[in-house]
Amino acid sequence: MKISDCLKIVMTVSFMAFSLSSFAESVSDSNPPLMEVACRYEMKVTRITKPKSSITNAWFFWRTPNIIQTQDADGDHGEIWERTANGSIQYRKLYHTDKTAVEYMPTDMPTNNMSFDWFKLSGMMSKEELNTLKMIKIKRVLGRSAELRKGEINGQAVEVLWLPNENLSANIIKKDKINRMELRLIEITPLSLAVKQPIAIGDINNYRQIDAADFGDMENDPFVKKLMSAEGHHHH
Amino acid sequence: MQLFKKLNLIATSSILTIGIAHAAEPTPADWFNAGHQTVVNAKHLSRNNGHAKNVILFIGDGMGISTITASRIYDGQTKGGHGEENSLSFEKLPYLALSKTYSVDQQTPDSAPTMTAMVTGVKTIGDSLSVNQYVAHSEKDAKVIDANKLSTILEQAKQHGLSAGIVSTARITHATPAATYAHTANRDWEGDSDKLAGATVPDIASQLVDFNVNGGINVALGGGRTRFIPNTVTDPEYGVAGKRKDGRNLTVDWTTKHTNAHYVWDQAGFDAIDPNTTDHLLGLFEPSHVHYEADRVAHDKSGEPSLTQMTTKAISILKKNDNGYFLMVEGGRIDHAHHSGNAYRALTETQQFAAAVKAAIDATDPEETLIIVTADHSHVFTIGGYPQRGNPILGLTQGVGATKPDLDMLGLPYTTLNYANGTGYTGASNAQPEGSKTFSFPATAAWASGSEGHNPTSFSPATGRPTLDSAKVEDANYLQEAIIPLSSETHAAEDVAIFAGGPKAHLFHGIVEQNVIYHVMADALGFNDEEHSESDKD
């Protein structure tokens, strides 16, 4: 297996680890509404034994009380989580160039032991994880107050710079024997002032919507073909 | 003496079918007598040449013969037997043929042309629903579609005054159910928002509700709510928005258009339906496909009926028509489980499908109801190695007399069930690390986005094989190993089985083209009498 392939997997998986959780607690009604923010992050994944082989990836993060949207720096791929009035969460992968959204239906999430923790989605750390980490000191990050917390989660050494006023992770460093992953906040502004805005929900709803469960029956679909061949051919 | 002899043979036969863990191990005489009894029974089979009042067509989507065999064993093992001697309900139907599933342009077909063949009598091209092969893929022009549409057995049933119903665990607009009532050259145009710009052919959901032959479709039960409600209305169970852009709420249209009509979306609503006072029932129990049977009770938020419950309710409504009925029932998620590379869910879906067939057999008179059970296509699902009898079908292969699992030439154990391709390839994917893959990625590791199991978009070459143990491979979420890494396991091209019982069921014999299924149904229902009465006399 190539190192770049390995890092690619780690990158994908670790991004989701930062942003998502399974077996998560349900969202408490007592949580205050989260501040609407627009952020730019950079993630760097390094294989410990090959420090020069690191991969860096930048992405955007937009948060409103009930919608979280991300987008790769190239603007082509993104993800969106929408919290509905009854507490369900709709999750879609976005392919902006193809104006296509791939839906993961609520039906299938519990099947796969998936439940979304809105707090963790919104801040990239769950309350439980934060409580596991020891408060070291207060610092400043991009002009904002931040708590430096350290500890171990799931066998990984974890270091977090947490913005308590924004309920948001600024920096996260996770390290084990194989990889070091670092997420770093590059820019944060109130959403209303952000130069780069998320794709409007109305526009996304006008995309072609595909149920992920149908991929197996869409072998002749040009988008599905393109998606699979584009990524699948990396190794040929 | 004769009666005693008969009873003795029945008892012997039972020993072989009730599960050996619960009975004495058959003796050589038992095997012989049971085999003989099968021949005796065959001799007493009498052809039912009468017209069928009712036809029920069961489709196990993707239920190839290996799936039937493995499900039979799994079902038998869950009942405490060895499994191999078990029979699924439909395996007891008296007549059998094999069906050639290729389409006009595909060696290995998809569900659209295969179902079109079964319900219209005509093979067509991939992705096309009940239109002939001369229509280009994704043809937008409704006039072209109309000029080339193929009449379906459901439409003909309505024209002859019968009632008609469709039941599925997939979206009710998905290819298999859709082919019975819709005409379009793109199976994915399920809602108006799915169509290409400028397409004048109606979307599939609206074709279901606007179906106008003799009072419309009587029963439609399955999934797929979002294609029926406008984007200004939210889903009652999950709160997600509908997908229709034309503003139509087809669930409302259903109840306003039909008499004695109801729309239900959860178990409570379904249970409240009185078949005696309901003539038109639309039940849409999920925004997309309904839950896998393995997950249905544990995970469904509002509750939803099983395939068996839907089938029973449909029959109760349809049978009120003295002229009879046509009913199509699809086990739609056998196919999805296989695409995900997860044998456990494919087998448990098939088990539920067999239960639905049994419910239909129990609820109907074989003298007047033709029941057909078949598949649209197969999957690349294999049963291999030399496991001993009674070896757990989901388990590691362990040979006769062995105390440990058999080993491959790398010195590693392997499973009896595998896939020739798909998501269970053991090289690292972009979603899961090297080694065995799981339908549900472990929570303790980083969470891989996506559902429907493992949805990779890339793989790295595997280095050797993983070390397997029984606990891992018998877990419900284990993905059996696949040789060829693909983002989704594929259909397979080999023939599928047709099981049949009831009037004209004997017309199924040998290896036939898939479109023959329509012709048997039409013949049984007497639809061909007008055109072919002379040839029938020959």
Catalytic residues of B: 111
| β-pair partners for B513 | B100
Interface test mutation site (partner B, options A112, A118, A174, max chain B beta carbons within 10 A): A112
Distance from CA of B526 to the nearest CA of A (A): 35
What CATH number does the domain containing B222 carry? 3.40.720.10
Cα–Cα distance for residue pair B417/B516, rounded to 1 Å: 32
Q: Is B493 inside a domain boundary? A: no
The whole-number pLDDT of residue A17 equals 42
Q: Is B294 inside a domain boundary? A: yes
Query: CA dihedral in degrees (A8, A9, A12, A16; nearest 10)?
Result: -150
How many domains does chain B contain in total? 1
Is there a contact between B431 and B454 (Cβ–Cβ < 8 Å)?
Answer: yes
The whole-number pLDDT of residue A39 equals 96
**Cβ neighbours, 10 Å, residue B534:** 7
Q: Which two tokens stand for residue B149?
A: 């549409």
Nearest to B430 among A8, A17, A212 (CB): A8
**Percentage of chain B lying above the pLDDT 70 cut:** 91
Is there a contact between B130 and B116 (Cβ–Cβ < 8 Å)?
Answer: yes
Distance from CA of A158 to the nearest CA of B (A): 14
Side-chain half-sphere CA neighbours of B467 within 13 A: 1
Give the mean pLDDT of B390-401: 97
Q: How does DSSP assign B324-384, residue by residue?
A: -EEEEEEETHHHHHHHTT-HHHHHHHHHHHHHHHHHHHHHS-TTTEEEEEEES-EESEEE-
The whole-number pLDDT of residue B7 equals 39
- Looking at the complex, does the CB of residue B435 fall below 8 Å from at least one CB of chain A? no
Nearest to B238 among A20, A84, A220 (CB): A84
Q: Which two tokens stand for residue B115?
A: 């179902």
Is there a contact between B445 and A20 (Cβ–Cβ < 8 Å)?
Answer: no
Q: Ramachandran region of residue B341, left (φ > 0), alpha (ψ -120 to 50) or beta?
A: left
Q: Is B415 inside a domain boundary? A: no
Nearest to B430 among A109, A219, A231 (CB): A231
Give the mean pLDDT of B226-252: 94
Nearest to B460 among A5, A113, A154 (CB): A5
| Strands B325-331 vs B54-60: parallel, antiparallel or unpaired | parallel
Q: Is B514 inside a domain boundary? A: yes
Q: Is B414 inside a domain boundary? A: no
Which residues of chain B have a CB within 8 Å of the CB of A86? 237-239
The whole-number pLDDT of residue B433 equals 86
Q: E strands along B219-266, which residues?
A: 219-223, 261-264
Q: For residue B225, what is the DSSP state?
A: G
Which residues of chain B have a CB within 8 Å of the CB of A82? 240
Q: Where are the alpha helices (DSSP H) in B105-222?
A: 111-120, 142-148, 153-159, 175-181, 204-209
Confidence band of B141 (pLDDT split at 50, 70, 90): very high
Is there a contact between B265 and B246 (Cβ–Cβ < 8 Å)?
Answer: no
The whole-number pLDDT of residue B37 equals 96
- Burial of residue B404 (CB within 10 Å: 0-12, 13-18, 19+) is exposed
Q: What is the pLDDT along chain A (236 residues), one digit of tens a residue?
A: 444 444 444 444 444 444 433 323 333 334 567 789 999 999 988 888 777 777 888 999 999 999 999 999 988 899 999 888 877 788 899 999 999 999 887 655 555 545 567 888 899 998 999 999 999 999 999 999 999 999 999 888 999 999 999 999 999 999 888 788 899 999 999 999 999 999 999 999 999 999 888 888 888 888 888 877 655 433 32
Judged by DSSP in three states, B401 sits in coil
Sign of CA dihedral A155, A156, A161, A163: negative
Distance from CA of A143 to the nearest CA of B (A): 31
Q: Is B421 inside a domain boundary? A: no
- Burial of residue B29 (CB within 10 Å: 0-12, 13-18, 19+) is exposed
Q: Which two tokens stand for residue B80?
A: 């405490």
- Provide the residue range defining the domain that includes B231: 54-380+498-530
Q: Is B18 inside a domain boundary? A: no
Distance from CA of B77 to the nearest CA of A (A): 24
Helices H / strands E in chain B, number of each: 17, 17
Residues 124-143 of B with CB under 8 A from A: 126-127
| Strands B437-438 vs A67-72: parallel, antiparallel or unpaired | unpaired
Maximum distance among all Cα pairs of chain A, rounded to whole angstroms = 56
Q: How many residues does chain B have?
A: 538
Is there a contact between B511 and B497 (Cβ–Cβ < 8 Å)?
Answer: no
Residues 6+ apart with CB under 8 A from A236: none
A58 sits in which H/E element: strand A50-63
Over residues B221-232, the pLDDT tens digits come to 999 999 999 999
Interface test mutation site (partner A, options B176, B192, B301, B458, max chain A beta carbons within 10 A): B458
Judged by DSSP in three states, A161 sits in strand
Q: For residue A187, what is the DSSP state?
A: E
Mean per-residue pLDDT of chain B? 91
Written in H, E and C, the secondary structure of B38-103 is: HHHHHHCCCCCCCCCCEEEEEEECCCCHHHHHHHHHHHHHHCCCCCCCCCCHHHHCCEEEEEECCC
CB contact under 8 A, B240 and A106: yes
The whole-number pLDDT of residue B487 equals 87
Cα–Cα distance for residue pair B294/A111, rounded to 1 Å: 9
CB contact under 8 A, A219 and B490: yes
* Residue-range domain boundaries for chain A: 3-123+184-235
CA distances B239 to A159, B15, B60, B226, Å, are 37, 53, 31, 11
- Looking at the complex, does the CB of residue B453 fall below 8 Å from at least one CB of chain A? yes
Q: What ipTM does the predicted assembly reach?
A: 0.75
Q: Where are the alpha helices (DSSP H) in B182-232?
A: 204-209
Over residues B152-173, the pLDDT tens digits come to 999 999 999 999 999 999 999 9
Give the mean pLDDT of B25-48: 95
Would you say residue B186 has pLDDT above 80? yes
